[in-house]
Amino acid sequence: MKKEKRLCFIQPCLTNMLKKIKIPKGKTCQPTFQLPTAEKIVFSGCSTTQRYKLTFCGVCLDKRCCIPNKSKMITVQFECPNEGFFRWKMMWITSCVCQRICSAPGDIFSQLKLL
């Protein structure tokens, strides 16, 4: 067994972006969404060498929360100004599920635990 660290980007922190998510008519949740354009990921002042169109977990109108259901691991390369390059593993979300078991509805980080 091997212990590894990875980056996880479950949902953007920008609350105005979350308000723009369109929930289909007759539904109460949009489990996943993507940004309209591919963007570079910024981490500790460094940015990825490629642009990515990430899939994020969405939102619900009721008290459910959406969390990753399926994901895979990818390796992304970051470039730091005047410091070179480094590679880091990242969780790439492929699908999310919305569930009623939420300790804090609307708080996507409420289910996270320190290991």
Burial 14-43 (b: 16+ CB within 10 A, else e): eeeebeeeeeeeeeebbbbbeeeeeeebee
pLDDT of residue 100: 83
Rounded Cα–Cα distance for residues 59 and 31 (Å): 6
pLDDT in 10s for each residue of the chain, 115 residues: 777 677 777 666 665 666 677 787 888 888 888 888 898 988 888 999 999 998 888 888 887 888 888 999 999 999 999 889 999 898 889 999 888 877 654 555 555 555 4
Q: For position 23, what pLDDT does the model report?
A: 81
Query: What per-residue confidence (pLDDT) applies to 112?
Result: 55
Map residue 31 onto helix, strand or coil.
strand
